[in-house]
Amino acid sequence: FRIVPNHNCPPGPLPRCTMSVTVEPQQIDLTYITECIITILCPAGCPEHVYLQNLQDIIVMLQSKHGHNYMIINLSQRNDTLSRLNHKVLDTGWVDLLAPNLNQIFTVCSLMENWLQRHSKHVLVLHCRGNKGRLGVLLASYIQFSNMAASADFSLDHFAMRRFYTHIILALLCYMCMCVCVCVLVTDS
């Protein structure tokens, strides 16, 4: 979101002033779940050109921060663009809105575990377009698979809390930006 102050506000009390909020094109959501597991979620309504630009920016960031120590696991249908931008891409071919079978989940969890244990600097990037359910299922499965959690409930709670904290922080930042804009408007009046 971008907050745009309305400079045509009449002088007087604050309630007469308005703020217009414009929604910018949806962007890819990048979240560090742990130090070595990153998720990339592209919303379903994201325009292709925005997706490609964001993806290129993320690849540059990953290369500068992690060098060649990261691998992308694509939890969506095959993506040639993703493969062209990076040579370390595992395409699962999972179809949107269909749950992967247990064998597929186990195979991906095994690959994740092998990659992360091969070197302490290795990082996994889980990429998903559209539905975030596949990310949640795989993360909870991997946490349980790798014995990072004492129970399946803890695995699900861990993923849910990371997403919750991310959304709370973003909401607080938006609120703080609006407060700053209001303060600027009040002091300018």
Residues designated catalytic: 128
Residue bearing tokens 């595992």:
90
Element (H, E) at 112: helix 102-118
Please state the separation of Cα 106 from the chain's center in Å. Answer: 23
Q: Within 13 Å of residue 66, how many CA atoms lie on the same side as its CB?
A: 22
User: Rounded CA gap, 43 and 45, in Å?
Assistant: 6
Q: Within 13 Å of residue 34, how many CA atoms lie on the same side as its CB?
A: 15
Structural contact between residues 71 and 90, judged by C-beta atoms closer than 8 angstroms: yes
Residue bearing tokens 């604050």:
14
User: Exposed, middle or buried, 140 (CB in 10 Å: 0-12/13-18/19+)?
Assistant: buried
DSSP-derived letter for residue 24 is P
User: Rounded CA gap, 108 and 123, in Å?
Assistant: 15
